[in-house]
Structures are given as C-alpha cells and as structure tokens.
Amino acid sequence: MADTNKGKEEMTGSQNTDKELWRKEPSNHYSPSIHVTVNGDIGMNVGGHVLVAPIEAWFKAGIRAFTVATRPKKHWWQRRRN
C-alpha cells in the first residue's frame, strides 16, 4: 500500500505558552494585545503583526522614539549642508 502522506508535512497542534497581559477589547480576539513569552520576552500584536523582543529592546526603542519625537525641529536655514 502506498503512503499517501509521503512528502507532506504532518499537521500537529502546539500549545500556546504565552501569557496575555493586556488586550484592547477583551471580547475581540483580533484586537491589539501584549503578551509575555515562555522565555520572558514581550510580544505586541497589532493588526495580525507580532513583534517580540526582550524588555531592554522595547525600552531602548521607546527612548529612541521619544527622543526623535521631542527633538526641536530646525528651520531650513539652520540645517547643516553637506
């Protein structure tokens, strides 16, 4: 008898080990959420796209974003020309 599953990937389930910390709309499974992975990393899910990183990386990204957002804008005549 021929093996009908030959060359096909076996379909198996896996257990979700992430712990959800926050969800924007608790009744909506697709709403933005924050979770902690089994490794202790922080994951953020927005629009089906998930970013996972250690807490130090999230903090560093936040500092960079805050610094850029609060940096005073220079007028065109104050910008350095190369």
Can you tell me the distance from the alpha carbon of 61 to that of 24, in angstroms, rounded to the nearest whole number?
22
**How much is the average pLDDT of 51-56?**
97
Report the DSSP pairing between strands 33-36 and 42-46: antiparallel
Choose between 3 and 17: higher pLDDT.
Answer: 17
Q: According to the model, what pLDDT value does residue 18 have?
A: 94
Measured between alpha carbons, how far is 35 from 40 in angstroms, rounded to an integer?
9
Looking at the predicted structure, is the pLDDT value of residue 2 above 60?
no
Tokens of 81: 């020309």
Helix ranges (DSSP H) in the chain: 55-70
Tokens 């030959």: give the residue.
6
Radius of gyration of the chain (CA): 22
DSSP class of residue 78 equals G
- What are 60-71's pLDDT values in tens digits? 999 999 888 787
